[in-house]
Amino acid sequence: MYAISLGDDGAELRPLEPWQAEEFLAHVDRGREFIGQYNALPDVVADLESSRAFLQAYADKAAADAGRLHGIWTDGKLVGAVLFRRMDAEQGTAEAGCWLEPSAVGKGLVTRAARVIIDWAVEERGIHRVEWWVSAANEPSIAVARRLGMTKDGVLRESYLYRGRRHDEEVWSVLAPQWRAGKRAS
């Protein structure tokens, strides 16, 4: 398995695979309440069987070139993930997402990891448009979209039913030419 360094702090990005279901479940358990504020992952991953099924679903997406899931590790401990929830190479579109457990917040890990996967999608897979769908109340995730150079496309009012309540979702995106220009500028 490969690992991509996310900087001098020892953080790294690696694929998450079904054989890591126990470690993944432990990670979700550590962050269950925090992650669950805006993300349904803790409702989906409740035990070892559902953890393995979730990871297998992403392994299947990767095999079909329809999505990817990468874990973020610090000091050998899984603390979060970035992913392409969906990816359509033929259309040139992908939807990126993320989560972290509380111990990893505020260190720039998601921004650094998202840059790696977005760059891969644009440069290696020919993706033209990368989207970032986020609850309008999730300020930290919106801040990541801004740091990634994304543009707010709009708000889908009350489009997401989550835990019995309707939430507004914001859609942010970056296009391949903007991504490349941003890389050159930095």
Angle at 89 between CA 85 and CA 93, to 5 degrees: 55
Across the 186 residues of the chain, what is the mean pLDDT of every consecutive 10-residue run?
A: 86 96 97 94 96 98 97 96 97 97 95 97 97 96 97 96 93 97 85
Whole-model pTM?
0.93
Whether residue 40 contacts residue 32, with contact meaning beta carbons closer than 8 Å, is answered with: no
Whether residue 136 contacts residue 155, with contact meaning beta carbons closer than 8 Å, is answered with: yes
Q: Residue 94: what pLDDT?
A: 98
Q: Residue 68: what pLDDT?
A: 96
Q: Residue 172: what pLDDT?
A: 98
Q: Which of 131, 164, 143 is nearest to 43 (CA)?
A: 164
Whether residue 25 contacts residue 89, with contact meaning beta carbons closer than 8 Å, is answered with: no
Q: Residue 1: what pLDDT?
A: 64
Angle at 119 between CA 34 and CA 82, to 5 degrees: 20
